[in-house]
Amino acid sequence: MSIDGGIPGGNGGSGWDRPEQLPPVSGQQWPQNGPDWEALARQHEAEQKKRRMLQIGGSAAAVVVAGIVTAAIALSSPAHPKRVAAVGPATPSASAADSSAPASPATSASVSASASGSASPALAQLVDKYGSNAIVLSKTVKPGQADGHNGPAVLMTGKDTDHGESNGPVVDTSKSFTVSALVDNNAPKGGECVLSQGSGAYYTFYLGRDDWDIHNQWVFKVQTLPGGEDKNTRQAFSKQPSWTGKWVLLTGVYDASAKSITLYVNGEPQDTIKIDGIWNSASRMQLGRTKYHGAWVDNWDGAISDVLVWNQALSASNVAQLQKSGGTSAGAAPMAGWLLP
């Protein structure tokens, strides 16, 4: 039968030369006076239409099946991993440590992650337990657990790249304040800073270990005037040399009323120095490094935990209580704190 809808035996090219060669249509008997050609044509056209409808229906079913299979594959495939959401603007760098554009703090955990853009790696942030001063860690600093201590800590190796930086000024050095941290020191020699704050070429306060000339001791030191000159440095040293391999609680107190600075080691007062005042630097606080003559130096080698700041001068009894608590509570409300249980 022709597939062009024409009448067999005509110009449709079916190959039927005579009417008697046409095969009978199913269920159709030839009348005695010969086939009804008009009826055959109508019947042939109806059958062709039926076949076309069947073909269209089959194609539609195939499309539906293909869609179902595609959906099933999509549902069974692993989802694209979520990108870390940006917690704040770009992470402050060593070359722009005193930028005025702070990063927004994370709010849901003691350690979170931020990213400044799709091409930048996520950086960890330490959440301020008592305020809004997040500390952004450099990519070489690893938050985690440290030997001999059960709480959270950051691990540093003394590299130039190891540090953390707050998203804004923390300490108002024109008024009384106290800074404290529980630390484990790995380096037997060299200056090492736990906490500092300053801008331009110099720190305004420094808590850590000093190593020069006859000194290899824990220290709390300050700058009494701006300008970055060594003659303006005042230092309170520990009675004993510094050590390695054993945790130590360092606490520095500035009493603006008494005009003095005091260093405490493991809750015990070490040295009190009278000063005229402290240069007030409204800049970011540094974790694990300091600014000296325009360069970042004294990167900490070891672990740091239980970092606390008060906007008051803690008394000797407060610091003793801080030691008994393991460095987490002094009986006075802190204004900022990181790496706490």
Is residue 19 scored above 90 in pLDDT? Answer: no
Beta strand pairing call for 290-292 and 248-255: unpaired
- Specify the higher pLDDT residue, 30 or 183: 183
Q: One-letter amino acid identity for 75?
A: L
Task: Give the pair of three-digit tokens for residue 171.
Answer: 């300490």
Residue-wise pLDDT tens digits, 181-204: 999 999 999 999 999 998 778 899
Task: Give the pair of three-digit tokens for residue 17.
Answer: 């030369």
Name which of 197, 189, 232 is nearest 213 in CA terms. 189
H-helix or E-strand containing 157? Answer: strand 153-157
pLDDT band of residue 23 (cuts 50, 70, 90) is very low
Task: Give the pair of three-digit tokens for residue 281.
Answer: 């630097």
First to last CA, the chain: 89
C-alpha to C-alpha distances, 291 to 8, 94, 168, 223, nearest whole angstrom: 101, 10, 16, 12
